[in-house]
Amino acid sequence: MEEVESREWYLAAYAAEGVPTSDHLKLRTVTLSLSPDSIPEQHVILEILFISVEPYLRSRITGREDGLYSPQFNLDEFVARRIDPNNGIPLPEYISSIAVTGLSRSSNQRVPGFAAWVGIELLADPKPGSNVFISAAAGAVGMCAGQLAKLRGCRVIGSTGSDEKVRLIKEEFGYDDAFNYHTETNFDAALSKYFPNGIDVYLDNVGGEMLEAALNHVNKHAKVPLCGMISGYNKVWTEREGVRNLLNLIGKEVNMQGFMVGSYVHRFGDFATEMESHLKQGKIGYSKLKIFHGIETFLESLGSLFTSSNVGKVVIQVK
Ligand code: NAP
């Protein structure tokens, strides 16, 4: 009987707040039998080549259901969606731009490119010339969202966490302008400067202070798709920054809408066709990837999502 050693991360303890550490996530080695007799009916054994590391994973290991957007992990949940390796798109880029990734077979499938597409194409649906603001703009969702909005003929401005990322999204991903929120710390003043004609669309990836500032600059009938609020993921909800100016939504008749990509799986085919075509025609550039090597880097790679240290989509190359 053939046996292989396989390493896996397991959740040893929930992490209620802060960036998860080795107290919460631990690596162990298990022995797997590859004998056909040992594989249960309707099960398969997979070899994992790449892992997509995404912010939502954080919200699934808090041990709390309050103030979060994802249910907690249960044991033994997994997904396997087979990707055709002959589709002409390199696997890491596929993970970043198209593939559905996640650990649950339920509706909690996540994908940065799909989230960007749902937020911009389906919910914001901006007209040419619209003023579009995107936070976490150099991340996996942000890079794609900015390019989709540019394809629609919009004026697109992003916020991100380093001067290098500001340069990158302007020079390589077509953003009209961008600012570093660590150095331009008065967000209200920054948005006055970058949006003299107000904001028509704000794709929110960070929440908190940036969302509040953006709501001070929205135009009448603006759209605000709420994709994520990463500034709050390591805090219990009572410690997060409140948004004090929701009254603006009424006077300006703003449409602010949270969304989960899992609710749009019926549109995944449209998205994949459109995105594959954009990628092949060079209308959308492949996202930048931050590739960690080896499964042992999972904890480090997860932690990197909560700093401004990485650029683009975080992926682990397992072998
Ligand atoms: P990502 O942008 O590749 O990585 C996270 C980035 O967020 C970091 O690189 C960092 O970049 C920024 N960040 C971290 N902490 C921050 C803070 N306190 N304040 C402001 N920015 C901070 O991640 P992603 O995969 O593209 O996801 C972006 C957002 O979309 C996340 O909120 C995620 O949860 C959400 N999402 C939602 C769905 C859905 O179905 N609703 C699906 C996928 C993703 P900089 O600081 O350098 O800007």
Measured distance CA(72)–CA(78) in Å, rounded:
13
pLDDT tens-place string over residues 61-104:
898 876 666 778 764 444 374 556 566 666 666 655 554 433 22
pLDDT at position 209 over 70: yes
Can you tell me which atom of ligand 1 is nearest the CA of 59?
A: 34
Measured distance CA(269)–CA(272) in Å, rounded:
5
pLDDT at position 310 over 60: yes
Helix (H, G, I), strand (E, B) or coil at 122: helix
In this structure, which residue's CA is closest to atom 12 in ligand 1?
Answer: 136
- Kindly report each contact of residues 178-182 with a partner whose C-beta sits within 8 Å and lies 24 or more positions away, as own/partner: 178/137, 181/135, 181/210, 182/308
Amino acid symbol at 63: G
Measured distance CA(297)–CA(57) in Å, rounded:
15
Residue 231 CB–ligand 1 contact under 6 Å: yes
pLDDT of amino acid 94: 60
In this structure, which residue's CA is closest to atom 3 in ligand 1?
Answer: 139
Can you tell me which atom of ligand 1 is nearest the CA of 260?
A: 40
Q: At 34, is the pLDDT very low, low, confident or very high (cuts 50, 70, 90)? A: confident
Nearest-CA neighbor of 231 among 79, 59, 87, 96?
59
How remote is the CA of residue 150 from the centroid of ligand 1, in Å? 20
Q: At 105, is the pLDDT very low, low, confident or very high (cuts 50, 70, 90)? A: very low
Among 133, 183, 206, 212, the mutation site with the greatest number of ligand 1 atoms within 8 A of its Cβ is: 206
- Range with the poorest average pLDDT among 18-27, 159-168, 284-293: 284-293
Chain centroid to Cα 192, Å, comes to 27
How remote is the CA of residue 54 from the centroid of ligand 1, in Å? 8
Measured distance CA(160)–CA(33) in Å, rounded:
46
How remote is the CA of residue 146 from the centroid of ligand 1, in Å? 14
How remote is the CA of residue 138 from the centroid of ligand 1, in Å? 9
The model's pTM is 0.88
Tally: H helices and E strands in the chain: 10, 11
Residue 59 CB–ligand 1 contact under 6 Å: no
Tokens of 188: 């209200």
Measured distance CA(41)–CA(47) in Å, rounded:
18
pLDDT at position 280 over 50: yes
